[in-house]
Structure 1
Amino acid sequence: MLDISNVTRRFGSTTAVKSVDLTIPAGQMVGVIGASGAGKSTLLRMINRLVVPSEGSILFNDTKVSSLSGQALRNWQRDCAMIFQQFNLVPRLDVLTNVLLGRLNHRSTVSSVLNLFTREERAMAIAALERLDISRTALQRAGTLSGGQQQRVAIARALMQEPKVILADEPIASLDPRNAQVVMQSLRDINQSDGITVITNLHTLDTARTYCERIIGMAAGEVVFDGGPDDLTEAAARRIYGADGLEEAFSESVTFTSFAAGKPKVRPTAPPEIAIAIAGA
Protein backbone atom coordinates (compact mmCIF):
# COMPACT_ATOMS: atom_id res chain seq x y z
CA MET A 1 0.00 0.00 0.00
CA LEU A 2 1.15 3.52 -0.84
CA ASP A 3 0.32 6.11 1.80
CA ILE A 4 0.76 9.79 0.94
CA SER A 5 0.23 11.98 3.98
CA ASN A 6 0.00 15.79 3.94
CA VAL A 7 2.56 16.05 1.13
CA THR A 8 3.51 19.51 -0.07
CA ARG A 9 6.15 20.66 -2.53
CA ARG A 10 7.27 24.26 -2.93
CA PHE A 11 9.53 25.71 -5.58
CA GLY A 12 10.55 29.06 -4.16
CA SER A 13 7.36 31.03 -3.57
CA THR A 14 5.30 28.66 -5.74
CA THR A 15 3.43 25.75 -4.18
CA ALA A 16 3.22 23.02 -6.83
CA VAL A 17 1.53 20.41 -4.60
CA LYS A 18 -0.39 21.33 -1.46
CA SER A 19 -1.30 19.06 1.46
CA VAL A 20 -2.11 15.92 -0.54
CA ASP A 21 -3.47 12.92 1.36
CA LEU A 22 -3.95 9.68 -0.59
CA THR A 23 -3.95 5.97 0.16
CA ILE A 24 -3.47 3.70 -2.85
CA PRO A 25 -3.93 -0.03 -2.26
CA ALA A 26 -1.66 -2.52 -4.00
CA GLY A 27 -2.80 -3.47 -7.49
CA GLN A 28 -4.92 -0.40 -8.30
CA MET A 29 -4.94 1.32 -11.70
CA VAL A 30 -5.10 5.02 -10.90
CA GLY A 31 -5.42 7.94 -13.29
CA VAL A 32 -4.38 11.41 -12.13
CA ILE A 33 -6.04 14.10 -14.23
CA GLY A 34 -5.98 17.87 -14.36
CA ALA A 35 -4.98 20.83 -16.47
CA SER A 36 -1.35 21.70 -17.15
CA GLY A 37 0.28 23.03 -13.99
CA ALA A 38 -2.13 21.21 -11.67
CA GLY A 39 0.73 19.41 -9.89
CA LYS A 40 0.32 15.95 -11.46
CA SER A 41 3.93 15.47 -12.57
CA THR A 42 5.34 16.86 -9.33
CA LEU A 43 3.23 14.40 -7.35
CA LEU A 44 4.52 11.42 -9.34
CA ARG A 45 8.09 12.63 -9.12
CA MET A 46 7.80 12.88 -5.35
CA ILE A 47 6.52 9.31 -5.17
CA ASN A 48 9.55 8.16 -7.18
CA ARG A 49 11.76 10.59 -5.19
CA LEU A 50 13.04 12.45 -8.24
CA VAL A 51 11.67 15.40 -6.26
CA VAL A 52 11.89 15.65 -2.46
CA PRO A 53 8.71 16.69 -0.60
CA SER A 54 8.92 19.99 1.25
CA GLU A 55 6.53 18.63 3.88
CA GLY A 56 4.68 15.44 4.67
CA SER A 57 5.55 11.78 4.23
CA ILE A 58 5.27 9.02 1.64
CA LEU A 59 5.20 5.41 2.85
CA PHE A 60 5.20 2.20 0.86
CA ASN A 61 4.20 -0.62 3.19
CA ASP A 62 6.63 -0.14 6.10
CA THR A 63 9.19 1.92 4.16
CA LYS A 64 9.27 5.70 4.58
CA VAL A 65 10.05 6.59 0.97
CA SER A 66 10.28 10.32 1.68
CA SER A 67 13.32 9.76 3.96
CA LEU A 68 15.33 7.32 1.86
CA SER A 69 18.88 7.99 0.70
CA GLY A 70 21.83 6.14 -0.82
CA GLN A 71 21.32 2.49 -1.77
CA ALA A 72 17.91 2.35 -0.11
CA LEU A 73 16.71 5.17 -2.39
CA ARG A 74 18.17 3.43 -5.46
CA ASN A 75 16.36 0.25 -4.45
CA TRP A 76 13.08 2.17 -4.22
CA GLN A 77 13.59 3.72 -7.65
CA ARG A 78 14.13 0.20 -8.96
CA ASP A 79 10.91 -1.00 -7.33
CA CYS A 80 9.00 2.12 -8.44
CA ALA A 81 9.57 2.28 -12.20
CA MET A 82 9.03 5.57 -14.02
CA ILE A 83 7.78 5.96 -17.59
CA PHE A 84 8.15 9.41 -19.11
CA GLN A 85 6.33 11.30 -21.86
CA GLN A 86 9.55 11.67 -23.85
CA PHE A 87 10.53 7.97 -23.53
CA ASN A 88 14.12 8.62 -22.25
CA LEU A 89 15.65 5.94 -24.47
CA VAL A 90 19.21 6.00 -25.84
CA PRO A 91 18.53 6.57 -29.57
CA ARG A 92 21.84 5.17 -30.86
CA LEU A 93 21.50 1.89 -28.95
CA ASP A 94 19.38 -0.97 -30.23
CA VAL A 95 16.01 -1.70 -28.70
CA LEU A 96 17.17 -4.82 -26.86
CA THR A 97 19.99 -2.97 -25.11
CA ASN A 98 17.62 -0.16 -24.12
CA VAL A 99 15.32 -2.70 -22.52
CA LEU A 100 18.21 -4.43 -20.75
CA LEU A 101 19.16 -1.11 -19.14
CA GLY A 102 16.20 -1.73 -16.86
CA ARG A 103 18.32 -4.36 -15.10
CA LEU A 104 21.06 -1.94 -14.02
CA ASN A 105 19.80 -1.55 -10.46
CA HIS A 106 19.81 -5.35 -10.10
CA ARG A 107 23.49 -5.66 -11.03
CA SER A 108 26.95 -4.88 -9.71
CA THR A 109 28.73 -1.73 -10.84
CA VAL A 110 31.42 -3.70 -12.67
CA SER A 111 29.01 -5.84 -14.68
CA SER A 112 26.92 -2.75 -15.51
CA VAL A 113 29.95 -0.85 -16.82
CA LEU A 114 31.07 -3.82 -18.88
CA ASN A 115 27.53 -4.38 -20.19
CA LEU A 116 27.66 -8.05 -19.18
CA PHE A 117 24.04 -9.06 -19.48
CA THR A 118 23.32 -12.74 -18.99
CA ARG A 119 21.50 -15.05 -21.37
CA GLU A 120 18.60 -15.15 -18.88
CA GLU A 121 18.37 -11.36 -18.83
CA ARG A 122 18.37 -11.24 -22.63
CA ALA A 123 15.59 -13.82 -22.76
CA MET A 124 13.67 -11.78 -20.19
CA ALA A 125 14.05 -8.65 -22.34
CA ILE A 126 12.83 -10.46 -25.46
CA ALA A 127 9.82 -11.76 -23.51
CA ALA A 128 8.97 -8.20 -22.44
CA LEU A 129 9.22 -7.00 -26.06
CA GLU A 130 7.02 -9.90 -27.22
CA ARG A 131 4.43 -9.01 -24.63
CA LEU A 132 4.27 -5.50 -26.07
CA ASP A 133 4.22 -6.76 -29.68
CA ILE A 134 7.53 -5.16 -30.68
CA SER A 135 10.00 -8.05 -30.50
CA ARG A 136 10.78 -7.71 -34.22
CA THR A 137 12.35 -4.32 -33.51
CA ALA A 138 14.87 -5.77 -31.03
CA LEU A 139 17.95 -5.17 -33.20
CA GLN A 140 16.86 -1.78 -34.57
CA ARG A 141 18.30 1.43 -33.17
CA ALA A 142 15.74 2.92 -30.79
CA GLY A 143 15.90 6.25 -32.58
CA THR A 144 14.45 4.73 -35.76
CA LEU A 145 11.16 3.71 -34.11
CA SER A 146 7.88 5.58 -34.08
CA GLY A 147 6.81 7.38 -30.93
CA GLY A 148 4.34 4.65 -30.02
CA GLN A 149 6.97 1.95 -30.49
CA GLN A 150 9.46 3.89 -28.37
CA GLN A 151 6.95 4.24 -25.56
CA ARG A 152 6.34 0.47 -25.62
CA VAL A 153 10.11 -0.05 -25.42
CA ALA A 154 10.12 2.22 -22.37
CA ILE A 155 7.38 0.09 -20.79
CA ALA A 156 9.36 -3.08 -21.55
CA ARG A 157 12.40 -1.48 -19.88
CA ALA A 158 10.25 -0.70 -16.82
CA LEU A 159 9.13 -4.33 -16.66
CA MET A 160 12.79 -5.39 -16.55
CA GLN A 161 13.04 -3.65 -13.18
CA GLU A 162 10.48 -6.14 -11.80
CA PRO A 163 8.71 -3.19 -10.15
CA LYS A 164 6.07 -3.14 -7.47
CA VAL A 165 4.73 0.20 -8.72
CA ILE A 166 4.75 1.76 -12.19
CA LEU A 167 4.41 5.53 -12.53
CA ALA A 168 3.61 6.86 -16.02
CA ASP A 169 3.93 10.62 -16.51
CA GLU A 170 1.69 11.65 -19.44
CA PRO A 171 2.65 8.47 -21.37
CA ILE A 172 0.37 9.17 -24.36
CA ALA A 173 0.62 12.95 -24.60
CA SER A 174 2.81 12.89 -27.71
CA LEU A 175 1.24 9.86 -29.43
CA ASP A 176 -1.28 9.47 -32.23
CA PRO A 177 -4.68 7.96 -31.31
CA ARG A 178 -3.91 4.36 -32.32
CA ASN A 179 -0.57 4.23 -30.50
CA ALA A 180 -2.14 5.92 -27.47
CA GLN A 181 -4.71 3.13 -27.34
CA VAL A 182 -2.06 0.42 -27.52
CA VAL A 183 0.06 2.01 -24.77
CA MET A 184 -2.90 2.40 -22.41
CA GLN A 185 -4.07 -1.14 -23.06
CA SER A 186 -0.56 -2.38 -22.35
CA LEU A 187 -0.45 -0.58 -19.01
CA ARG A 188 -3.86 -1.94 -18.08
CA ASP A 189 -2.81 -5.47 -19.03
CA ILE A 190 0.27 -5.20 -16.81
CA ASN A 191 -1.89 -3.94 -13.96
CA GLN A 192 -4.48 -6.69 -14.30
CA SER A 193 -2.22 -9.60 -15.20
CA ASP A 194 0.72 -8.88 -12.89
CA GLY A 195 -1.10 -7.10 -10.07
CA ILE A 196 1.32 -4.17 -10.30
CA THR A 197 0.05 -0.84 -9.04
CA VAL A 198 -0.08 1.63 -11.95
CA ILE A 199 -0.43 5.38 -11.41
CA THR A 200 -0.58 7.41 -14.60
CA ASN A 201 -0.95 11.12 -15.25
CA LEU A 202 -3.49 11.84 -17.97
CA HIS A 203 -4.74 15.05 -19.49
CA THR A 204 -8.21 14.01 -20.60
CA LEU A 205 -11.33 12.60 -18.99
CA ASP A 206 -12.21 9.95 -21.55
CA THR A 207 -8.86 8.22 -21.22
CA ALA A 208 -9.13 8.05 -17.44
CA ARG A 209 -12.71 6.78 -17.57
CA THR A 210 -11.85 4.05 -20.06
CA TYR A 211 -8.75 2.59 -18.42
CA CYS A 212 -8.60 3.52 -14.73
CA GLU A 213 -10.62 2.08 -11.86
CA ARG A 214 -9.87 5.11 -9.71
CA ILE A 215 -9.46 8.72 -10.81
CA ILE A 216 -7.80 11.50 -8.86
CA GLY A 217 -8.39 15.06 -10.04
CA MET A 218 -5.97 17.87 -9.22
CA ALA A 219 -6.28 21.63 -9.51
CA ALA A 220 -3.78 24.23 -8.33
CA GLY A 221 -1.75 21.55 -6.57
CA GLU A 222 -4.65 20.12 -4.54
CA VAL A 223 -6.73 16.97 -4.85
CA VAL A 224 -10.26 18.13 -5.71
CA PHE A 225 -11.71 14.79 -6.83
CA ASP A 226 -11.15 11.16 -5.85
CA GLY A 227 -13.55 8.53 -7.13
CA GLY A 228 -14.49 6.01 -9.79
CA PRO A 229 -15.21 6.63 -13.49
CA ASP A 230 -18.97 6.86 -12.90
CA ASP A 231 -18.42 9.62 -10.33
CA LEU A 232 -16.64 11.84 -12.85
CA THR A 233 -19.58 14.08 -13.68
CA GLU A 234 -19.55 17.45 -15.39
CA ALA A 235 -19.75 19.12 -12.00
CA ALA A 236 -16.64 17.21 -10.89
CA ALA A 237 -14.90 18.16 -14.13
CA ARG A 238 -15.60 21.82 -13.40
CA ARG A 239 -13.78 21.48 -10.08
CA ILE A 240 -10.81 19.88 -11.82
CA TYR A 241 -10.50 21.93 -15.02
CA GLY A 242 -12.50 25.06 -14.33
CA ALA A 243 -15.24 26.32 -16.64
CA ASP A 244 -12.73 27.46 -19.26
CA GLY A 245 -11.17 24.02 -19.51
CA LEU A 246 -14.32 21.97 -19.93
CA GLU A 247 -14.39 22.05 -23.72
CA GLU A 248 -10.86 20.66 -23.93
CA ALA A 249 -11.53 18.09 -21.21
CA PHE A 250 -14.64 16.69 -22.90
CA SER A 251 -13.69 17.14 -26.57
CA GLU A 252 -12.37 13.65 -27.30
CA SER A 253 -14.34 12.41 -30.29
CA VAL A 254 -11.15 11.77 -32.24
CA THR A 255 -9.03 10.36 -29.44
CA PHE A 256 -7.89 6.76 -29.15
CA THR A 257 -10.97 5.71 -27.20
CA SER A 258 -13.02 6.08 -30.36
CA PHE A 259 -11.24 2.95 -31.55
CA ALA A 260 -12.68 -0.45 -30.63
CA ALA A 261 -11.31 -1.54 -27.27
CA GLY A 262 -9.24 -4.68 -27.38
CA LYS A 263 -5.85 -6.00 -26.50
CA PRO A 264 -2.94 -5.61 -28.93
CA LYS A 265 -1.88 -8.76 -30.66
CA VAL A 266 1.09 -10.53 -29.14
CA ARG A 267 3.32 -12.92 -31.07
CA PRO A 268 3.87 -16.12 -29.07
CA THR A 269 7.50 -16.60 -29.92
CA ALA A 270 10.50 -14.45 -30.77
CA PRO A 271 11.27 -14.12 -34.49
CA PRO A 272 14.26 -16.21 -35.67
CA GLU A 273 16.35 -13.17 -36.53
CA ILE A 274 16.69 -12.17 -32.87
CA ALA A 275 17.53 -15.59 -31.46
CA ILE A 276 21.20 -14.63 -31.68
CA ALA A 277 20.51 -11.60 -29.49
CA ILE A 278 19.19 -13.83 -26.70
CA ALA A 279 22.35 -15.88 -26.85
CA GLY A 280 24.39 -12.70 -26.43
CA ALA A 281 26.45 -13.12 -29.56
Structure 2
Amino acid sequence: MTFELKNLTRRFGDRTAVDAVTVEIPQGQMVGVIGRSGAGKSTLLRMINRLQDPSSGSIRFGELEVSALKGAALRRWQRDCAMIFQQFNLVPRLDVMTNVLLGRLNHRSTAMSMLSIFTREERIMAIAALERLGIEQTALQPAGTLSGGQQQRVAIARALMQSPKMLLADEPIASLDPLNAKIVMDALRDINEREGITVITNLHTLDTARNYCDRIIGMAGGRVVFDGPASALTATAVCEIYGSDKDGAGIDESMTSTSINIPAAAQAAGALQSAAVGTLAGARA
Protein backbone atom coordinates (compact mmCIF):
# COMPACT_ATOMS: atom_id res chain seq x y z
CA MET A 1 0.00 0.00 0.00
CA THR A 2 1.18 3.50 -0.79
CA PHE A 3 1.80 5.89 2.09
CA GLU A 4 1.02 9.49 1.21
CA LEU A 5 1.54 12.86 2.86
CA LYS A 6 -0.24 15.75 1.19
CA ASN A 7 0.47 19.38 2.14
CA LEU A 8 1.24 18.22 5.68
CA THR A 9 1.85 21.19 7.95
CA ARG A 10 2.49 21.69 11.65
CA ARG A 11 2.60 25.09 13.33
CA PHE A 12 3.63 25.97 16.87
CA GLY A 13 2.24 29.46 17.39
CA ASP A 14 3.88 31.69 14.79
CA ARG A 15 6.52 29.11 13.92
CA THR A 16 5.98 26.57 11.13
CA ALA A 17 7.91 23.39 11.96
CA VAL A 18 6.71 21.37 8.95
CA ASP A 19 5.60 23.30 5.90
CA ALA A 20 3.33 21.76 3.24
CA VAL A 21 5.20 18.45 2.88
CA THR A 22 3.90 16.26 0.04
CA VAL A 23 5.49 12.84 -0.60
CA GLU A 24 4.41 9.36 -1.66
CA ILE A 25 6.24 6.28 -0.33
CA PRO A 26 5.47 2.86 -1.81
CA GLN A 27 5.28 -0.17 0.47
CA GLY A 28 8.65 -1.66 1.35
CA GLN A 29 10.94 1.32 0.84
CA MET A 30 13.66 2.27 3.32
CA VAL A 31 13.68 6.05 3.51
CA GLY A 32 16.23 8.26 5.25
CA VAL A 33 15.21 11.77 6.28
CA ILE A 34 18.15 14.15 6.70
CA GLY A 35 18.57 17.82 7.57
CA ARG A 36 19.88 20.21 10.17
CA SER A 37 18.57 20.32 13.73
CA GLY A 38 15.25 22.12 13.66
CA ALA A 39 14.56 21.22 10.04
CA GLY A 40 11.30 19.48 11.04
CA LYS A 41 12.41 15.83 10.83
CA SER A 42 11.23 14.71 14.27
CA THR A 43 7.98 16.67 14.03
CA LEU A 44 7.29 14.97 10.69
CA LEU A 45 7.69 11.48 12.18
CA ARG A 46 5.63 12.36 15.25
CA MET A 47 2.78 13.50 12.99
CA ILE A 48 2.98 10.30 10.95
CA ASN A 49 2.61 8.30 14.18
CA ARG A 50 -0.02 10.82 15.36
CA LEU A 51 1.88 11.65 18.53
CA GLN A 52 1.30 15.19 17.26
CA ASP A 53 -1.68 16.32 15.21
CA PRO A 54 -1.17 18.11 11.90
CA SER A 55 -2.24 21.75 11.71
CA SER A 56 -3.38 21.05 8.14
CA GLY A 57 -2.90 18.58 5.32
CA SER A 58 -3.50 14.83 5.24
CA ILE A 59 -1.81 11.50 5.97
CA ARG A 60 -3.04 8.41 4.11
CA PHE A 61 -1.99 4.76 4.24
CA GLY A 62 -3.75 2.99 1.41
CA GLU A 63 -7.45 3.73 1.93
CA LEU A 64 -6.93 4.75 5.58
CA GLU A 65 -7.15 8.48 6.37
CA VAL A 66 -4.63 8.48 9.22
CA SER A 67 -4.94 12.20 9.95
CA ALA A 68 -8.66 11.76 10.81
CA LEU A 69 -8.31 8.81 13.23
CA LYS A 70 -9.49 9.02 16.83
CA GLY A 71 -9.96 6.70 19.80
CA ALA A 72 -9.51 2.96 19.21
CA ALA A 73 -8.80 3.47 15.50
CA LEU A 74 -5.94 5.83 16.36
CA ARG A 75 -4.51 3.31 18.86
CA ARG A 76 -4.60 0.63 16.15
CA TRP A 77 -2.65 2.91 13.82
CA GLN A 78 -0.03 3.57 16.50
CA ARG A 79 0.24 -0.20 16.88
CA ASP A 80 0.64 -0.68 13.11
CA CYS A 81 3.05 2.26 12.80
CA ALA A 82 5.74 1.39 15.37
CA MET A 83 8.05 4.14 16.63
CA ILE A 84 11.67 3.84 17.79
CA PHE A 85 13.05 6.81 19.72
CA GLN A 86 16.56 8.18 20.21
CA GLN A 87 16.10 7.96 24.01
CA PHE A 88 14.98 4.28 23.77
CA ASN A 89 11.87 4.88 25.99
CA LEU A 90 12.34 1.65 27.95
CA VAL A 91 11.29 1.11 31.58
CA PRO A 92 14.74 0.83 33.26
CA ARG A 93 13.62 -1.14 36.34
CA LEU A 94 11.76 -3.78 34.31
CA ASP A 95 13.66 -6.68 32.80
CA VAL A 96 14.37 -6.79 29.08
CA MET A 97 11.77 -9.51 28.40
CA THR A 98 8.97 -7.45 29.97
CA ASN A 99 10.01 -4.34 28.07
CA VAL A 100 9.80 -6.28 24.81
CA LEU A 101 6.44 -7.81 25.74
CA LEU A 102 5.02 -4.31 26.26
CA GLY A 103 4.95 -4.10 22.48
CA ARG A 104 1.92 -6.44 22.57
CA LEU A 105 -0.27 -4.17 24.71
CA ASN A 106 -2.34 -2.84 21.79
CA HIS A 107 -3.04 -6.42 20.68
CA ARG A 108 -4.54 -7.47 24.02
CA SER A 109 -7.59 -6.90 26.21
CA THR A 110 -7.45 -4.15 28.84
CA ALA A 111 -7.79 -6.68 31.69
CA MET A 112 -4.87 -8.81 30.48
CA SER A 113 -2.75 -5.68 29.98
CA MET A 114 -3.49 -4.39 33.50
CA LEU A 115 -2.59 -7.75 35.01
CA SER A 116 0.55 -8.08 32.83
CA ILE A 117 -0.58 -11.56 31.75
CA PHE A 118 1.34 -12.61 28.64
CA THR A 119 0.74 -15.85 26.80
CA ARG A 120 3.31 -18.55 26.09
CA GLU A 121 3.17 -17.61 22.39
CA GLU A 122 3.90 -13.97 23.18
CA ARG A 123 6.90 -14.96 25.31
CA ILE A 124 8.21 -17.14 22.48
CA MET A 125 7.79 -14.18 20.11
CA ALA A 126 9.75 -11.95 22.50
CA ILE A 127 12.64 -14.40 22.81
CA ALA A 128 12.70 -14.81 19.01
CA ALA A 129 12.87 -11.02 18.57
CA LEU A 130 15.75 -10.77 21.06
CA GLU A 131 17.58 -13.66 19.36
CA ARG A 132 17.17 -11.97 16.01
CA LEU A 133 18.91 -8.89 17.44
CA GLY A 134 21.61 -10.92 19.19
CA ILE A 135 20.73 -9.95 22.78
CA GLU A 136 18.70 -12.92 24.03
CA GLN A 137 21.21 -13.37 26.88
CA THR A 138 19.99 -10.08 28.41
CA ALA A 139 16.34 -11.20 28.70
CA LEU A 140 16.25 -11.27 32.52
CA GLN A 141 18.44 -8.21 33.12
CA PRO A 142 16.91 -4.87 34.13
CA ALA A 143 16.82 -2.75 30.97
CA GLY A 144 18.61 0.09 32.77
CA THR A 145 21.77 -2.03 33.17
CA LEU A 146 22.30 -2.40 29.40
CA SER A 147 24.55 -0.30 27.19
CA GLY A 148 23.01 2.26 24.85
CA GLY A 149 23.44 0.01 21.82
CA GLN A 150 21.79 -2.92 23.63
CA GLN A 151 18.91 -0.74 24.81
CA GLN A 152 18.25 0.45 21.26
CA ARG A 153 18.12 -3.17 20.10
CA VAL A 154 15.61 -3.91 22.88
CA ALA A 155 13.53 -0.99 21.59
CA ILE A 156 13.63 -2.48 18.08
CA ALA A 157 12.58 -5.89 19.46
CA ARG A 158 9.65 -4.21 21.24
CA ALA A 159 8.63 -2.54 17.97
CA LEU A 160 8.72 -5.92 16.20
CA MET A 161 6.32 -7.28 18.82
CA GLN A 162 3.72 -4.81 17.51
CA SER A 163 3.71 -6.69 14.15
CA PRO A 164 3.87 -3.28 12.44
CA LYS A 165 3.07 -2.37 8.86
CA MET A 166 5.44 0.59 9.07
CA LEU A 167 8.46 1.36 11.25
CA LEU A 168 9.55 4.88 12.18
CA ALA A 169 12.94 5.56 13.78
CA ASP A 170 13.77 9.01 15.14
CA GLU A 171 17.57 9.43 15.18
CA PRO A 172 18.06 5.79 16.27
CA ILE A 173 21.88 5.96 16.24
CA ALA A 174 22.45 9.55 17.40
CA SER A 175 23.79 8.52 20.82
CA LEU A 176 25.60 5.34 19.74
CA ASP A 177 29.23 4.61 18.93
CA PRO A 178 30.05 3.65 15.30
CA LEU A 179 30.03 -0.12 15.85
CA ASN A 180 26.68 -0.14 17.68
CA ALA A 181 25.30 2.29 15.09
CA LYS A 182 26.15 -0.26 12.39
CA ILE A 183 24.46 -3.08 14.33
CA VAL A 184 21.27 -1.04 14.75
CA MET A 185 21.16 0.08 11.11
CA ASP A 186 21.85 -3.48 9.93
CA ALA A 187 18.87 -4.61 12.03
CA LEU A 188 16.56 -1.97 10.54
CA ARG A 189 17.61 -2.86 7.00
CA ASP A 190 17.12 -6.58 7.73
CA ILE A 191 13.56 -5.89 8.94
CA ASN A 192 12.89 -3.83 5.83
CA GLU A 193 14.21 -6.49 3.45
CA ARG A 194 12.88 -9.66 5.14
CA GLU A 195 9.42 -8.42 6.17
CA GLY A 196 8.94 -5.87 3.41
CA ILE A 197 8.05 -3.29 6.07
CA THR A 198 8.37 0.37 5.11
CA VAL A 199 11.06 1.99 7.28
CA ILE A 200 11.34 5.77 7.64
CA THR A 201 14.30 6.92 9.72
CA ASN A 202 15.67 10.33 10.65
CA LEU A 203 19.45 10.37 10.37
CA HIS A 204 22.14 12.92 11.10
CA THR A 205 24.94 11.17 9.19
CA LEU A 206 25.15 11.32 5.41
CA ASP A 207 27.20 8.15 4.95
CA THR A 208 24.59 6.17 6.90
CA ALA A 209 21.77 7.52 4.74
CA ARG A 210 23.69 6.72 1.57
CA ASN A 211 24.68 3.20 2.65
CA TYR A 212 21.33 2.03 4.01
CA CYS A 213 18.47 3.91 2.39
CA ASP A 214 16.74 3.33 -0.96
CA ARG A 215 15.57 6.91 -0.92
CA ILE A 216 16.67 10.08 0.83
CA ILE A 217 14.46 13.03 1.73
CA GLY A 218 16.26 16.23 2.67
CA MET A 219 14.50 18.88 4.76
CA ALA A 220 15.37 22.51 5.41
CA GLY A 221 13.17 25.03 7.18
CA GLY A 222 10.32 22.52 7.44
CA ARG A 223 10.19 21.93 3.67
CA VAL A 224 11.36 19.06 1.49
CA VAL A 225 14.25 20.39 -0.61
CA PHE A 226 15.57 17.04 -1.86
CA ASP A 227 13.85 13.74 -2.65
CA GLY A 228 15.68 11.04 -4.55
CA PRO A 229 18.08 8.08 -4.50
CA ALA A 230 21.40 8.23 -2.67
CA SER A 231 23.24 8.53 -5.99
CA ALA A 232 21.54 11.89 -6.60
CA LEU A 233 22.70 13.36 -3.28
CA THR A 234 25.38 15.57 -4.82
CA ALA A 235 27.44 18.29 -3.15
CA THR A 236 24.98 20.85 -4.53
CA ALA A 237 22.03 18.97 -2.97
CA VAL A 238 23.86 18.64 0.35
CA CYS A 239 24.54 22.39 0.32
CA GLU A 240 20.84 23.08 -0.25
CA ILE A 241 19.88 20.84 2.68
CA TYR A 242 22.52 21.95 5.19
CA GLY A 243 23.56 25.37 3.88
CA SER A 244 27.09 26.75 3.61
CA ASP A 245 29.67 27.99 6.08
CA LYS A 246 30.48 31.70 6.48
CA ASP A 247 32.86 31.55 3.50
CA GLY A 248 30.24 29.99 1.25
CA ALA A 249 31.86 26.55 1.23
CA GLY A 250 29.81 23.38 1.59
CA ILE A 251 29.88 21.23 4.70
CA ASP A 252 32.70 18.78 5.38
CA GLU A 253 31.00 15.37 5.14
CA SER A 254 33.67 13.76 7.33
CA MET A 255 32.09 15.73 10.18
CA THR A 256 28.78 13.91 9.60
CA SER A 257 30.14 10.36 9.51
CA THR A 258 29.80 7.37 11.81
CA SER A 259 31.67 4.97 9.54
CA ILE A 260 34.15 2.56 11.06
CA ASN A 261 36.90 0.96 9.03
CA ILE A 262 37.25 -2.37 10.83
CA PRO A 263 40.17 -3.75 8.71
CA ALA A 264 42.10 -0.51 9.21
CA ALA A 265 41.31 -0.53 12.92
CA ALA A 266 42.52 -4.13 13.21
CA GLN A 267 45.70 -3.27 11.30
CA ALA A 268 46.36 -0.34 13.60
CA ALA A 269 45.75 -2.50 16.67
CA GLY A 270 48.17 -5.11 15.29
CA ALA A 271 50.81 -2.47 14.70
CA LEU A 272 50.44 -1.21 18.26
CA GLN A 273 50.70 -4.76 19.60
CA SER A 274 53.87 -5.45 17.55
CA ALA A 275 55.43 -2.22 18.77
CA ALA A 276 54.61 -3.13 22.35
CA VAL A 277 56.15 -6.61 21.95
CA GLY A 278 59.27 -5.09 20.38
CA THR A 279 59.60 -2.61 23.22
CA LEU A 280 59.19 -5.38 25.81
CA ALA A 281 61.78 -7.58 24.07
CA GLY A 282 64.22 -4.69 23.94
CA ALA A 283 63.72 -4.01 27.66
CA ARG A 284 64.40 -7.68 28.52
CA ALA A 285 67.55 -7.69 26.41
Q: Same fold by TM-score, threshold 0.5 exceeded?
A: yes
> After the TM superposition, which residues 105-144 of structure 1 pair with which residues of structure 2 at under 5 Å, given as runs?
105-144=106-145
Q: CA separation of 1:145/1:81 partners in 2, compared to 1, >3 Å: closer, same or farther? A: same
Structure 2 residue 47 is matched with structure 1 residue 46: yes
Shift of 1:204: 1.7
1:256 to 251, 255, 259: 259
Q: Deviations over 1:225-259 (max 9, x none)?
A: 00001000000000000013943544256x23544
AA aligned to 2:3 is L
Identity of aligned residues (%): 71
AA aligned to 2:251 is E
Counterpart of 2:160? Answer: 159
Q: CA separation of 1:230/1:72 partners in 2, compared to 1, >3 Å: closer, same or farther? A: same
Counterpart of 1:100? Answer: 101
Q: Deviations over 1:84-116 (max 9, x none)?
A: 000000000000000000000000000001000
AA aligned to 1:247 is I
Q: Please give the alpha-carbon distance, in whole angstroms, between the structure 1 residues aligned to 2:53 and 2:256.
A: 35
Counterpart of 1:35? Answer: 36
Q: Deviations over 1:53-104 (max 9, x none)?
A: 1010000010000010000000000000000000000000000000000000
Q: Say whether the 8 Å CA contact 2:239–2:251 is kept in structure 1.
A: no
Q: Please give the alpha-carbon distance, in whole angstroms, between the structure 1 residues aligned to 2:145 and 2:26.
A: 38
> After the TM superposition, which residues 1-281 of structure 1 pair with which residues of structure 2 at under 5 Å, given as runs?
1-244=2-245, 246-247=250-251, 249-252=253-256, 255-259=258-262
Q: Say whether the 8 Å CA contact 1:80–1:166 is kept in structure 2.
A: yes
Q: Please give the alpha-carbon distance, in whole angstroms, between the structure 2 residues aligned to 1:34 and 1:180.
A: 19
Q: Please give the alpha-carbon distance, in whole angstroms, between the structure 2 residues aligned to 1:259 and 1:218.
A: 32
Counterpart of 1:270? Answer: none
User: What are the ranges of 5 or more consecutive residues in structure 2 without an aligned counterpart?
Assistant: 264-285
AA aligned to 2:65 is K
Q: Say whether the 8 Å CA contact 2:242–2:251 is kept in structure 1.
A: no
Q: Please give the alpha-carbon distance, in whole angstroms, between the structure 2 residues aligned to 1:259 and 1:247.
A: 25
**Two-structure CA RMSD over aligned residues (Å):** 1.2
Q: CA separation of 1:118/1:217 partners in 2, compared to 1, >3 Å: closer, same or farther? A: same
Q: Please give the alpha-carbon distance, in whole angstroms, between the structure 2 residues aligned to 1:246 and 1:89.
A: 38
Q: Please give the alpha-carbon distance, in whole angstroms, between the structure 2 residues aligned to 1:69 and 1:149.
A: 34
What secondary structure does 1:247 align onto? coil
AA aligned to 2:255 is S
Shift of 1:132: 0.2
Higher-Rg structure is 2
User: What are the ranges of 5 or more consecutive residues in structure 1 without an aligned counterpart?
Assistant: 261-281
Number of residue pairs matched by the alignment: 259
Q: Normalising to structure 1: TM-score of the pair?
A: 0.90
Q: Please give the alpha-carbon distance, in whole angstroms, between the structure 2 residues aligned to 1:75 and 1:51.
A: 16
Q: Say whether the 8 Å CA contact 2:75–2:106 is kept in structure 1.
A: yes
Q: CA separation of 1:19/1:165 partners in 2, compared to 1, >3 Å: closer, same or farther? A: same
Q: Please give the alpha-carbon distance, in whole angstroms, between the structure 2 residues aligned to 1:176 and 1:150.
A: 13
Q: CA separation of 1:125/1:248 partners in 2, compared to 1, >3 Å: closer, same or farther? A: farther
